[in-house]
């Protein structure tokens, strides 16, 4: 498994992690086992949020990492409605309780909301001082919102921006990724398989066949071609977890990247456009 520096933090994080959105819909025993298998395979970046299953998924993750917390780069998110200065701290305390840990590695604002960024970010900095998170970041911020966030926070404070990114939705390549790179902010791609609606393609199949891998693995590797980009596919089955982990074991050639780029074209969007699921 390849590791990269996580934005300006310098902390090495696996390029492929484990997402947990909608995991409350899966069999709990299978989901816990899948997350643990992912840790065995080096996918130690686990992402969750207080809103996932109204806290149920954080509790599930807490069970999965019990006894293995030191292995995990653990990320959770505060919902915008809770993101006042006081509310952010209270929400973090509740997340820590459900996750059965005393600290997060990174705490994110789930998406822009009505509370001033200055208040949310002040709470994040307080949580760092209190030892309740090591770093903080944002999610679902377009390039204009990211620029505003950097102007409020200052340089080298925002660790990452978590955004939608898959082969059929490559909008972030035009403005969001370059803006993140400019400010040394890691890009974390969520839903790389479109919440289970991944569609293969002859080009992916041909490349996979030549490398002795799978189309899903080729798709993940394509998303990771940008330096500073990470991805967090969600899987509650052992087979898919093992398949996801294998995507970190090879690299695509420039010719293969060109073929995938042509097979999944993207048009340059208007500025400020950011798709979400």
Tell me the domains of the chain and their CATH numbers. 3-199+222-250 (3.20.20.100)
Please give the share of the chain, as a percent, with pLDDT higher than 70. 99
Compute the distance between CA of residue 109 and CA of residue 142 in angstroms, rounded to an integer. 13
* DSSP reduced 3-state for 33: helix
pLDDT grade for 253, boundaries at 50, 70 and 90: very high
| Region 199-211 average pLDDT | 92
Mean pLDDT of the chain: 95
1 or 167, which is more confident? 167
- pLDDT score of 195 more than 70: no
* CB-CB neighbours of 62 under 10 Å: 20
- pLDDT score of 275 more than 90: no
pLDDT grade for 277, boundaries at 50, 70 and 90: confident
pLDDT of residue 268: 79
Compute the distance between CA of residue 213 and CA of residue 256 in angstroms, rounded to an integer. 14
| Region 163-172 average pLDDT | 94
User: 2: closest CA among 201, 194, 227?
Assistant: 227
**Single pTM value for the model:** 0.94
Q: Is 52 a catalytic residue?
A: yes
The model's pLDDT over 130-163, given as tens digits with 9 standing for 90+, comes to: 999 999 999 999 999 999 999 999 999 999 999 9
Q: Exactly one of 52, 107, 165, 175 is catalytic; which is it?
A: 52
| Region 65-69 average pLDDT | 97
pLDDT of residue 196: 60
Both ends of the chain: CA-CA distance in Å? 28
pLDDT grade for 269, boundaries at 50, 70 and 90: confident
Compute the distance between CA of residue 267 and CA of residue 36 in angstroms, rounded to an integer. 39
* CB-CB neighbours of 224 under 10 Å: 22
Partner residues linked to 190 by β-bridges:
164
The model's pLDDT over 29-58, given as tens digits with 9 standing for 90+, comes to: 999 999 999 999 999 999 999 999 999 999
Report the greatest alpha carbon distance in the chain.
54
- pLDDT score of 256 more than 90: yes
């Amino acid at each position: 498994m390849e590791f990269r520096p996580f934005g300006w933090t310098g902390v090495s994080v696996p390029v492929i992690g484990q997402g947990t959105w909608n995991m409350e819909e899966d069999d709990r025993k299978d989901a816990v086992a899948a997350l643990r298998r992912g840790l065995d395979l080096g996918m130690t970046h686990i992402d969750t949020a207080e809103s996932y299953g109204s806290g149920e998924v954080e509790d599930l993750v807490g069970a999965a990492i019990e006894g293995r917390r030191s292995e995990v780069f653990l990320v959770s998110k505060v919902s915008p409605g809770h993101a006042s200065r006081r509310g952010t701290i209270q929400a973090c305390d509740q997340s820590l309780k459900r996750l059965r840990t005393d600290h997060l590695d990174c705490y994110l604002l789930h998406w822009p909301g009505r509370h001033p960024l200055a208040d949310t970010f002040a709470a994040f900095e307080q949580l760092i001082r209190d030892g309740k998170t090591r770093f903080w970041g944002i999610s679902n911020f377009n390039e204009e919102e990211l620029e505003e966030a950097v102007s409020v926070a200052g340089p080298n404070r925002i660790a990452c921006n978590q955004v939608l990114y898959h082969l059929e939705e490559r909008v972030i390549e035009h403005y969001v990724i370059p803006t993140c790179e400019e400010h040394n902010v890691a890009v974390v791609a969520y839903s790389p398989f479109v919440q289970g609606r991944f569609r293969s393609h002859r080009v992916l199949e041909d490349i996979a066949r030549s490398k002795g891998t799978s189309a899903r693995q080729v798709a993940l590797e394509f998303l990771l071609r940008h330096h500073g980009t990470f991805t967090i596919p969600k899987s509650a089955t052992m087979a898919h977890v093992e398949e996801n982990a294998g995507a970190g074991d090879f690299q695509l050639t420039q010719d293969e990247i060109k073929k995938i780029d042509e097979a999944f074209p993207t048009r340059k969007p208007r500025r400020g456009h950011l798709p979400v699921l």
